[in-house]
Amino acid sequence: MHKPLRLALATATAVALTGGLLTFSAVNATAADSTHVPQADFNGDGIGDVAFSAAGAYVSGHKNAGQLVVLYGTATGVSSAKRSTISQNTAGNPGTAETGDAFGSETAYADFNGDGYDDLAVGSPGEDVGSDVDGGGLVILWGSASGITGKGVGIADPAPSSHDYWGKNLAAGDFDGDGKADLAVGSSAATIYVFKGGFNSSGTAGGRYTIKPAIQSGNGANGPLNLTAGDVNGDKRTDLVVDGFETETSYGWNRNYYIPGTASGLSLASAQALKPGVITAIGDINGDGYGDIVSGAQWDTTTSDGTAIPDSGKGGKVWVTYGSDGGPTTSTGITQDTGNVPGTAESKDWFGYELDLGDINGDGFLDLAIGVAGENIGSAVNTGAVTVLYGTSSGLDTTSGAQGFAQSTPGVPGNDENDDMFGADVKLDDVTGDGKADLIVGSYENDGNGAVTYLPSDGTVITTTGSRAVAPSTSGVSTTGTPSFGANFAD
């Protein structure tokens, strides 16, 4: 299997950045809003839909050309029976499937044209643009009554000579509060381009500006690691969290920034530094109307040469920073040794490899799914697991109610095998239309073929009753090479 970002990142964190370690192959972003649980509805039937990458897929013989898969929600959840599988060769989709394009590796949804159907921004960061190798490509695929069909428009890179990997990070939100969805786009550089909403049918945005947070863009850091949208200060303007590397040390310590939305868009003037983590989710855990920031710092406490890593925990730590009208406030760290969190903190568990927030039991407090992709179970190394913690009025409950799932959990499809990395991505979205978030888990099942496992909410907790696995082979994705089906869900 090719090396996923988190492995590369753990390595990068454990040694001084030397370049070339970070790739776009599994870059992820997680968006949520503070007052509700947004989930994509591409076909407008009122039931949540899930889109994800198979960015390593062969298309017409081209290695790593990449595909995008959309599973549409039904009363019985998601399966390969109701889906779209899209490549750059799909009619209406700008571009052509070529070796190394990695189409679909990053996605973000919103109703960009305001027609009532959610649309999907899709990056192909390995796209060559003319003679610009890995210049990167970005399209918006339009939603419709038939869902995502492939019909879309290209969003051109405004400064192709300034960076590569255009579209490797995406986040959608209403950063200026004008009621139209904006799109933030990252590349190999520190500068983030923000396209203002009001996209027309030819993809022209309502305006454009840039922000440049204090993150490193050279020496292998390659710009932002992740962009996450959500309303932390409750002013109905979406705020942005940028996960990146700080600039001032010889070690590539991860550092995150909160950048609030204002009437004129995202503003660095009130930016705040946050606890670390390379994957972030934002949503209201304690029900006070302010989005809370959750970030996963899945590395261990020291580098390979014994240097202590700031704000880290054995086997990985998840930081929770509660929101307020003034933005982020106090932070709490959670490891597998906290309270009654399932498991035991062991080196290289990668607790916090991925995260998502959703309301599993409908009590108005968002619940958290945590990927523990490096968990060893029995003799299976890096087979992976997922932990679920429930939200309350006083925040995440680490004492009672926690759930843990692995493929060896009775009722979960599959078995614990080496390098399955169950929990390589997680999503809590309501894909049955009952108002309760269901758990969807990505993995690198079968040597990087990948799989997506559906575990529904029974209204109170996540259950294995009615669970199923969705495989690439039944979803129009070739298992030649390492398609990494399900490695990155759209946020």
What is the smallest separation between the CB atom of 360 and Ca ion, expressed in angstroms?
A: 17
> Using CB under 5 A, which of the segments 102-110, 208-216, 234-242, 370-378 binds Ca ion?
234-242
Q: Which two tokens mark 411?
A: 């009722």
| Cα(47)–Cα(440) distance, integer angstroms | 15
What is the smallest separation between the CB atom of 482 and Ca ion, expressed in angstroms?
A: 29
Among 157, 239, 420, 425, binds Ca ion (CB under 5 A): 239
Near Ca ion in 81-140, by CB under 5 A: 111, 113, 115, 117, 119
What is the smallest separation between the CB atom of 277 and Ca ion, expressed in angstroms?
A: 17
Between 12 and 138, whose beta carbon lies closer to Ca ion? 138
Q: Which two tokens mark 243?
A: 């996960």
Between 43 and 67, whose beta carbon lies closer to Ca ion? 43
Q: Is 443 in the site for Ca ion (CB under 5 A)?
A: no
The pattern of x and - marking residues 7 through 46 that bind Ca ion according to CB under 5 A reads: ----------------------------------x-x-x-
What is the smallest separation between the CB atom of 114 and Ca ion, expressed in angstroms?
A: 7
| Cα(376)–Cα(419) distance, integer angstroms | 9
The pattern of x and - marking residues 242 through 271 that bind Ca ion according to CB under 5 A reads: -------------------x----------
Between 10 and 141, whose beta carbon lies closer to Ca ion? 141
Near Ca ion in 314-343, by CB under 5 A: 323
The pattern of x and - marking residues 283 through 312 that bind Ca ion according to CB under 5 A reads: -x-x-x-x-x--------------------
Between 22 and 70, whose beta carbon lies closer to Ca ion? 70
Helix (H, G, I), strand (E, B) or coil at 268: helix
Between 340 and 393, whose beta carbon lies closer to Ca ion? 393
Q: Is 330 exposed, middle or buried (0-12, 13-18, 19+ CB in 10 A)?
A: exposed
| Cα(202)–Cα(423) distance, integer angstroms | 37
Instruction: Say if strands 367-372 and 395-397 run parallel, antiparallel, or are unpaired.
Output: unpaired
What is the smallest separation between the CB atom of 294 and Ca ion, expressed in angstroms?
A: 11
> Using CB under 5 A, which of the segments 151-159, 223-231, 311-319, 394-402 binds Ca ion?
223-231
Helix (H, G, I), strand (E, B) or coil at 7: helix
What is the smallest separation between the CB atom of 151 and Ca ion, expressed in angstroms?
A: 11
Between 228 and 382, whose beta carbon lies closer to Ca ion? 228
DSSP 62: B
What is the smallest separation between the CB atom of 13 and Ca ion, expressed in angstroms?
A: 29
Contacts 24+ apart (CB under 8 A), 189-194: 189/162, 189/163, 189/217, 189/223, 190/214, 190/215, 190/216, 190/217, 190/223, 190/224, 190/244, 191/159, 191/162, 191/163, 192/224, 192/227, 192/240, 192/242, 193/158, 194/265, 194/266
The site that binds Ca ion (CB under 5 A) totals a number of residues, namely 23
Between 336 and 432, whose beta carbon lies closer to Ca ion? 432
Between 106 and 284, whose beta carbon lies closer to Ca ion? 284
> Using CB under 5 A, which of the segments 1-9, 239-247, 379-387, 399-407 binds Ca ion?
239-247
Between 135 and 143, whose beta carbon lies closer to Ca ion? 143
Instruction: Please work out, in degrees rounded to the nearest 5, the angle formed at the alpha carbon of residue 446 by the alpha carbons of 445 and 447.
Output: 100
What is the smallest separation between the CB atom of 287 and Ca ion, expressed in angstroms?
A: 7
Q: Which residues contact 441 (CB under 8 A, 6 or more apart)?
A: 371, 386, 405, 422, 423, 425, 426, 427, 452, 453, 455
What residues are paired with 258 via a beta bridge?
A: 241, 272
Between 27 and 320, whose beta carbon lies closer to Ca ion? 320
Among 9, 10, 27, 47, binds Ca ion (CB under 5 A): 47
Contact 24, 106 (CB under 8 A): yes
What is the smallest separation between the CB atom of 307 and Ca ion, expressed in angstroms?
A: 34
What is the smallest separation between the CB atom of 203 and Ca ion, expressed in angstroms?
A: 12
In DSSP notation, 379-440 reads TBTT-BEEEEEEEETTEEESSS--EEE-TTSTTSSS---TT--BTSEEEEE--SSSSSPEEE
What is the smallest separation between the CB atom of 273 and Ca ion, expressed in angstroms?
A: 17
| Cα(368)–Cα(356) distance, integer angstroms | 6
Among 39, 67, 90, 233, binds Ca ion (CB under 5 A): 233
In DSSP notation, 337-393 reads TSTT-SS---TT--EEEEEEEE-SSSSSS-EEEEEETT--BTTBTT-BEEEEEEEET
Contact 412, 420 (CB under 8 A): no
Residues that bind Ca ion (CB under 5 A): 41, 43, 45, 47, 49, 111, 113, 115, 117, 119, 143, 231, 233, 235, 237, 239, 261, 284, 286, 288, 290, 292, 323
